[in-house]
Amino acid sequence: MKFRRHGSRGFRLDSVLGWIGGIPARLNLSRLTRIVGEWVGPVGGKRRSRVVTAAALITSFLVGYVVAATMLFPAPIFPRSQDVPRLLGMSLSEAREELDRLGLAVADTEFVSHPEYEQGRVVWQDPPPAVAVPEGARVTLSVSRGPHPVQVPDVTGYERDVAIQLIIAAGLTVSRVDTGLAPADRGVVVSSNPTAGGSLNPGSGVGLFVSVGTATIRIPNVIGLTVDEASVVFEEAGLILGTARTRTTNNHEPELIFEQSPAEGTLSAPGAAVNVTVARGG
C-alpha cells in the first residue's frame, strides 16, 4: 500500500510506521505522559473517563501530527539520494543533460588546459562518480580548453641537428628543412616557421631554414667537359657535382655536358652543388 500527497512522491507504509516510531524521542513523550498522569491521578473508577479522554487526546495529537507532516508540508520526510554519474570525457552539453535526467544540476564550470582531453570535454567533477548525494544536488565540472600551448623555442644560430633536438624537447616536431644561401655558416639554422615565441599545440610541426653558406664562390664553366672532368673542376673550386642528367640531342657531342645550373659566374656558397646535363646521341 502506498500513501500519496500533493507535490511529493509515494512512499511505503512501513517507512511511515518507522518514522512514527521515532516521534516519542522528538516529542519527549515521557514528559507528556508524566504531565497527563499528574492531571489524571491514580486510575480509579471515578477517573476512568479522564484516562480515556487523555488517551484519546494523545492519539488525536499523534495522528494529526502525522497527517500534517505527510500531506501539508511540501518537503519529503524521507529525502531520496542519487549516485553521481561518471561525466568524464563527455561534452559539457552531454554532462548537463545527464545530470538533468537524474535530477541533479551543474553548480559551477571552470575551464582548464589538459594534455589529453580535447576542447569542450569534462576532465574532472566534484563530487566524483558513484558518490551518493541528495536529489537536486549540484555538481561542479572542470572542462578542457585543450592542450596547453607550447612556445616555439629560438633555434636561430644553432647547428641543424641541435636545433631539431631543441624543438623535439619542447614538445613539437620538425615538419620540413629548407636550405639556401644565407650570411651564416653552412649547416646553421637561419630562421624557423613559426618564428621563435609563437604558440602551437603540442606535437605541431616547425619548419627550419638552414644556411648552405655565404655566396663567395663563382661557379666555373664546365660546358663541353665530361662528368668526371666537371667533378674535378667543382672540387677544386670548393663546390660539388650535383645531379648529372642525360638528354637526347643531335646538337652536342655525346657524353659531354651542354647545360649547368647554376650558370657560369653565379655566386654560390662553399660546398654548394651544381647540376649538369649530359648529351646523349639520338
Residue of 202, 109, 195 lying closest to 148 (CA atoms):
202
State the DSSP H helix or E strand holding residue 62, giving kind and residue range, or none if neither.
Answer: helix 48-67
pLDDT of residue 172: 93
Q: What band does 7 get if pLDDT is binned at 50, 70 and 90?
A: very low
**pLDDT beyond 60 at 76:** no
Whole-Å CA distances, 246 to 100, 213, 222, 241, 277: 75, 29, 15, 14, 6
Prediction pTM value: 0.46
Domain positions in the chain are 2-72, 81-144, 150-211, 217-280
Instruction: Name which CATH class applies to 217-280.
Output: alpha beta
**pLDDT beyond 80 at 138:** yes
pLDDT of residue 213: 84
- What is the spatial distance between Cα 183 and Cα 31, in angstroms, rounded to a whole number? 103
Domain 81-144 matches domain 150-211 at the CATH topology level: yes
Tell me: the pLDDT tens digits for 226-261?
Answer: 999 999 999 999 999 999 999 998 889 999 999 999
pLDDT of residue 49: 66
**pLDDT beyond 70 at 3:** no
Pairing mode, if any, of strands 273-280 and 257-261?
antiparallel
CATH number of 150-211: 3.30.10.20
Q: For residues 139 and 98, is the Cβ–Cβ distance under 8 A?
A: no
In 88-208, alpha helices (H): 92-101, 160-169
State the DSSP H helix or E strand holding residue 150, giving kind and residue range, or none if neither.
Answer: strand 150-151
Whole-Å CA distances, 9 to 12, 93, 98, 260: 10, 28, 21, 93
Q: What band does 282 get if pLDDT is binned at 50, 70 and 90?
A: low
Grid cell in block for residue 159: 647547428
Mean of the per-residue pLDDT values of the chain: 81
Tell me: the pLDDT tens digits for 173-219?
Answer: 999 999 888 888 889 999 999 999 988 888 899 999 999 888 889 99
State the DSSP H helix or E strand holding residue 13, giving kind and residue range, or none if neither.
Answer: helix 13-21
Instruction: Name which CATH class applies to 81-144.
Output: alpha beta
